[in-house]
Amino acid sequence: MVFNGGGNLAVITEIQKFSVHDGPGIRTLVFFKGCPLRCKWCQNPETYSIYPECIYSTDKCIGCAACLSACRKTAISDIEGILTTDREKCDACGDCTLACPTKARQIVGEAITIDEVFNRISRDKVFYDNSGGGVTLSGGEVMVYAGFAAELLSRLKAMRINTAIETCGYADWEDYKAVIEHTDHVLFDIKHADPRRHKEYTGVDNKMILDNLRKIIEYGSRVIPRYPLVPGVNDDEQSIRDVCRICLDNKLEMLHILPFHQAGETKWEGLDREYYFIGTEGMGVEAANRAGDICKSMGLRVSIGGS
């Protein structure tokens, strides 16, 4: 489950500054590439694999075929006027991205050292201090890089920078202990209470996840549970109540509801992956508020959107 590139190196898809949704105050988000789950609604499918990948945006393509001639691996073909990528041949070398005049092809994921990540995110300490913010490690799944994350968080804590992680909960407990020792907030996803349904839509059941939730709380970490609300998966009243019960049983008082949206649909196409929720409408305000009302009726405070 842990990235085999070494504890000093991680593959990062993005370092996003000035976020206000993933922990308190103004924050910098570090998105790690790699995840043990395969959520069918994932809005960041480019973070599935730990390796850099080429993503192709058809809406930006002008059909010049410069990428085809630039590809030394012959991974790009023109099939009846449609440029297609052979993912088995593509090694994300980046030659096609350099040739593309419209940036229709881009490499997602870059192997970066701890020193480089730390230097880039720590320089904004003044913004964190003035807003009560800090740094959140996200993904993908940060626990894929547990050793890297523990060292990075330790350095941030030494500078008195507030730290947080976003996690799906699916990792070895010993890795969690090493990471949460240096973490102020754990934003913990609870996707479904039913283990069968959880496995159907994420690829794994939820036993390890719920065990880790309990252990992290017992460890003394401040946990913020988050509920991705997905149509047809967990937006029915019983599923919502079951997740609320998990929160209450673990003495959690608040639940962040994250309504499903379609911001990631084009990414699935750009990676040549089949998307289960293609064409599904995003979760509207009314449906999100209804879920929130159910949670409130069970005694939980609710934040819709996770701010």
The mean predicted confidence, pLDDT, of the chain is 94
User: Is the model's pLDDT at 294 over the cut of 80?
Assistant: yes
Q: Where are the alpha helices (DSSP H) in 62-108?
A: 66-70, 95-99
Ordered DSSP codes for 104-120? -EEEE-EEEEHHHHHHH
How far, in Å, CA of 91 to CA of 86, rounded? 10
Q: Checking DSSP bridges between strand 105-108 and strand 53-56, what pairing results, if any?
A: antiparallel
CATH class of 9-50+110-304: alpha beta
Domain boundary assignment for the chain: 9-50+110-304, 57-108
Q: Could you give the strand order of the β-sheet that contains 162-167, starting from the edge strand earlier in sequence?
A: 110-113, 9-19, 27-32, 134-138, 162-167, 185-189, 222-229, 254-259, 301-304
How far, in Å, CA of 234 to CA of 196, rounded? 12
Q: What is 57-108's CATH number?
A: 3.30.70.20
Query: Residue 79: in which H helix or E strand, if any?
Result: strand 76-79
How far, in Å, CA of 149 to CA of 121, rounded? 13
Longest Cα separation, the chain: 61
The SS3 assignment for 227 reads: strand
Q: pTM for this one? A: 0.92
Per-residue pLDDT, 5: 43
User: Is the model's pLDDT at 3 over the cut of 60?
Assistant: no
How far, in Å, CA of 50 to CA of 35, rounded? 7
* 183 — pLDDT class (breaks 50, 70, 90): very high
